[in-house]
């Protein structure tokens, strides 16, 4: 996540303990952790591959594939 933050600096990252906040787990339909939601949609369960995560974040930020903000 930190590497993604440096390559797509305009992203907002929030880490949530779903055990302490079960309503958040329900909202995003998190069934296992770790999980990654982007713009309110659950995108990954488990640890995502770096390139897949970066590509999805760039797309969500409106950046061309491989570009950084």
Q: Concatenated DSSP letters for 1-69?
A: -HHHHHHSTT-------TTT-HHHHHHTT--SSSEEEETTEEEEESPPPHHHHHHHHHHHTTPPTT---
pLDDT digits (tens, 9 = 90+) for 12-50: 888 999 999 999 999 999 999 999 999 999 999 999 999
What predicted TM-score, i.e. pTM, was given to this entire model? 0.78
Print the SS3 string covering 30-42.
CCCCCEEEECCEE
Q: What is the pLDDT of residue 12?
A: 85
- Domain ranges in the chain are 2-60
Average pLDDT over residues 42-68: 87
């Amino acid at each position: 996540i930190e590497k993604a933050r440096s390559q797509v600096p305009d992203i907002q990252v929030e880490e949530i303990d779903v055990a302490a906040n079960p309503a958040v787990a329900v909202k995003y339909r998190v069934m296992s952790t770790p999980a990654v939601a982007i713009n309110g949609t659950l995108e990954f369960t488990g640890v995502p591959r770096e390139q897949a995560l970066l590509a999805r974040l760039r797309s969500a930020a409106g950046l061309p594939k491989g570009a950084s903000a």
